[in-house]
Amino acid sequence: MNATFKFAIALAIGICASFPAIVLAQVNSKNQGYLVDQNFNVVTAVGGTVCVRTSDWTPARAAAAEAVGFCDPDLAPKKQAAIPPPAPVAPKPAEKLAAQKPEPPKLLPQKINFSADALFDFDRADLKPDGKAMLDDLTRVLEGAKYEVILAIGHTDRIGSAAYNQKLSVRRAETVKKYLVGKGIELNRVYAEGKGKTQPITKPGDCKGRKGRGLISCLQPDRRVDVEVSGTK
């Protein structure tokens, strides 16, 4: 065997011998610092619980190795916890209630006091033009309202007998009721009653010593028609 042939054989053997090492180096670059077997698996000891380290093992290389999770889990890069989406901001109790509850209905006036002298002439039960205008204003207030009862209550002053004043107060209350019904108020929603002179606003000692027109003028607050409304708008 000549020298040239021997050199070729030696070269071929060297290449073949170095090939697994090259592959090993390439694979082991994924687990640099740990000893791997011929199948490129990390070699373990102590019952397969401890990875065998090589002389070039460093914490940095271990952290970059594929097997770090098994071999050195303490060195494994920490996975950043997923940041949960921000929780929806719960509305404040007041805002929540405002969103749930409809706007409260507008309250109607519960009691309106009309001077009988403004509605009627003295000792009469026929509505004056100014009195009609006042009741027209009331019907406009009641438009679109949800009411249960409208009660017209007539009152008189103390002049005259109780029986006469009772009848006069009823007549005036009935006149107010009739006018409101004529303006579109439901008949079964309007009631009229008279209290005569039983519920005066003036006190017994008021108007003492007055007579004639002076007494009539002093007792004016007692002559009235109260309209009471029960409901909301």
pLDDT single digits (tens) 91-124: 666 655 555 666 666 556 678 899 999 999 888 9
Least confident of 22-26, 30-34, 58-62: 22-26
In a domain, 169, yes or no: yes
Q: How many domains does the chain have?
A: 2
Task: Report how far residue 152's alpha carbon sits from residue 216's, in angstroms, rounded to the nearest whole number.
Answer: 23
Confidence of residue 137 (pLDDT cuts 50, 70, 90): very high
Range of the structural domain that residue 135 is part of: 111-232
Tell me, yes or no, whether 227 and 130 share the same domain.
yes
In a domain, 85, yes or no: no
Short-list 226, 230, 233, CA closest to 112: 226
In a domain, 82, yes or no: no
Please report, to the nearest 10 degrees, the dihedral formed by the alpha carbons of residues 52, 57, 61, 62 taken in order: 30
Q: Tell me the two tokens of residue 85.
A: 């989406």
Confidence of residue 232 (pLDDT cuts 50, 70, 90): low
**Residue 42 identity (one-letter amino acid):** V
Tell me, yes or no, whether 122 and 22 share the same domain.
no
Number of continuous H segments (helices) and E segments (strands) in the chain? 8, 6
